[in-house]
Amino acid sequence: MFASRMGDPAVLDLSVNTPVAMASDAFAKAVERAIKAPGMDWQGYASRKLIQRLRLAGARWLETRGIMARPEEIVPVAGGQAALAAILGVLDIKSLGIEAQTYSGVIALAQGRALKTIDLHMDGDGVLPKSLTDAGVDAAILTPTLHNPTGKIWSKARRRDLLAVAARSGTLVIEDDAYGPLADIEPMTALPSGASTLFVSTLSKIVAPGLRTAFIWGRGQTIEKLSSAIYATGWGMAPLMMEVAVQWIESGVVNEQIAAQRLEIEARHRLATAFFPELRGNPPSPHIFLKTCAPAELFELAGVRVAGSSAFSRRPVANAGIRISLSAAPSRVALDVALSRCAEVTRAHARL
Ligand SMILES: Cc1ncc(COP(=O)(O)O)c(C=O)c1O
């Protein structure tokens, strides 16, 4: 029906959530420093020593998220998606609750396994506690902070209610904190509760996806099981990137990056609000979700690649809309042009 503009360099790709690009030579310099790190075998598998250093760095990192973790409670993995796959692969999870609107990787993970998957209904404040009760699942993957795709932050009351339900029903809460460091709210996992939780923190959305670095944190038998499978998960990481991650966490570069990301995202979100007033009152999120029946292909024809609702939901018609990644634009000027085109498309389609 639509002529494809795949591969057309004139199309601005705002369909993938990536952090705002950092100064071009920062990554190269970090890699050079890492290569020169004493005793570094960057052609080999990660050594136990390097894994241990990354665990220690992970503990330091999680402290900034309000989580006091011991290194042995941390499992480093090659990104958030690998973390979720490791959890589902290693633990005995037979039924899984997923947000009715969720990040595409979760849908893909659920589809690829012999697992009973139940959609958890949501309102503007996140997953409904009753839906979690009714689902009665072994585990649920939740993204309460700058949820993907909606960009919402679930209230503290909702978080507490969900934890209470999980504690009652013995549901393991897997909190995906991919965007958490970009917001001012403590993770759900840091709240006192009787629920069993696993916390997944990736550096992909706040520093660089190419680092392929994430941490899983939890307590007791759950994390012990994951930890003893570390060679099935940790081997997926490239030693060079592990070294960069360690150095960036230890030197505070990660925190500087987050501060810079947050400033830029605030400005970009303000810009988006000018085009789409319905976003007013939403937290400054690196991505926005617009409710529209206009298909993603129409935006592509207008020169902007966006992600359509079928990427985020198993019932896309019930959640029709598009997600635009504000942080993926190379500049605010480019974003301004793209948003104005998207606004035109949504307005024109609403008039049909
Ligand atoms: C909510 C959420 N979790 C996890 C991931 C995966 O991140 P990673 O690149 O670290 O695998 C993404 C990527 O889009 C995401 O949006």
Distances (CA, A) of 61 to 14, 247, 253, 286: 29, 12, 11, 21
pLDDT at 1: 44
| Domains with residue ranges and CATH for the chain | 12-17+254-351 (3.90.1150.10), 37-251 (3.40.640.10)
For a pocket test of ligand 1, which of 102, 199, 202 has the largest count of ligand atoms closer than 8 A to its C-beta? 202
Q: Cis omega (within 30 of 0) on the bond before 209?
A: no
Strand partners, 198: 174, 218
Q: Which atom of ligand 1 is nearest to the CA of 143?
A: 1
DSSP assignment string, 138-152: SEEEE--SS-TTT--
Q: How far apart are CA 189 and CA 236, in angstroms?
A: 26
First to last CA, the chain: 17
By mean pLDDT, which of 23-37, 136-150, 181-195 is the weakest? 23-37
Looking at residue 275, what is its pLDDT? 98
Is residue 96 within 8 Å of 75, Cβ to Cβ?
no
163, pLDDT greater than 80: yes
DSSP letter for 100, please: S
For residue 218, the cross-strand partners are 198
* Section 7-14 average pLDDT: 85
Q: Is the CB of 79 under 6 A from ligand 1?
A: yes
262: amino acid identity, one letter: R
Report the nearest-CA residue for atom 3 of ligand 1: 178
Residue 233 has pLDDT above 80, yes or no: no
Span 226-237, mean pLDDT?
79
> d(Cα 262, Cα 326) in Å, to the nearest integer?
12
pLDDT (mean) for 47-67: 95
pLDDT of residue 24 exceeding 80: no
φ/ψ of 207, rounded to 5, equals: -125, -75
Give the mean pLDDT of the chain: 93
CB 117 within 8 A of CB 98: yes
* Centre of ligand 1 from the C-alpha of residue 352, in Å: 35
Whole-angstrom Cα distance, residue 292 to residue 109? 27
pLDDT of residue 112: 76
Residue 38 or 76, more confident: 76
pTM for the whole structure: 0.95
* 89-117 confidence digits (pLDDT tens): 999 999 999 999 999 999 999 887 889 99
- Residue 202: which residues within 8 A CB-CB, separation 6 or more? 79, 80, 83, 178, 213, 214, 215
